[in-house]
Amino acid sequence: MNTRTVHLAVYDTFADWETGHTTAHLTQNGFTVRTVGPTTDPVTTMGGVRIQPDLALGELDPGNSALLILTGAHLWDAGDDLAPFAAKARAFLDAGVPVAAICGATAGLAREGLLDDRDHTSAASFYLGATGYKGGDHYREADAVTDRDLITAGPTEPVAFAREVFARLGVYEGEKLDAWYRLFHDSDASAFAALNS
């Protein structure tokens, strides 16, 4: 497993704001973030930003990655265009490589059956329930949830999502992880000194 490269899935209507904290702090801590699209053709985010993917989904091998990040997008609920990304998430989990999914990507994972036996969260339980998945008993009312190699979060929790990623990859631990979260989630200025000690 390549422990220093993280793959960020990008596709049309990708929710820009959901991974900013995650990717910025991963990069600042020695990780390389590579984007992976359906193809290498440019995609346009929900915020109108044009992204040229580094590689196509078909080229992505879990053995060359430390983590796959899947964000929300209108396309998760508009058909099966993003189903191949959920299938790739299954390949990652089967290979023991973690996956982090936020917002609409959780619905894609639910449709793929990946939430049927793992604790998870999302925007709301009824949102996932509409997918027809069988994991309702494992739904948790929480900002973000990690169960084995799968991290999930709802659309309003990009900071909690990042915290779970950092904990899973060992970017920040213990008091530093707590300080990072207090600084960026709670605007606790006293956490700055603890984070930078």
Show Cβ contacts of residue 58 under 8 Å, excluding neighbours closer than 6 positions.
Answer: none
Q: Is the dihedral of CA 17, 38, 129, 95 positive or negative?
A: negative
Name the DSSP letter for residue 66: S
Is 103 one of the annotated active-site residues of the chain? Answer: yes
**3-class DSSP state for residue 197?**
coil
Show Cβ contacts of residue 100 under 8 Å, excluding neighbours closer than 6 positions.
Answer: 22, 67, 68, 69, 70, 150, 151, 152, 153, 161, 164, 165, 168
Instruction: Count Cβ atoms below 10 Å from residue 63 Cβ, excluding itself.
Output: 10
| Given 93, 103, 150, 183, the catalytic residue | 103
Residues tagged active-site:
103
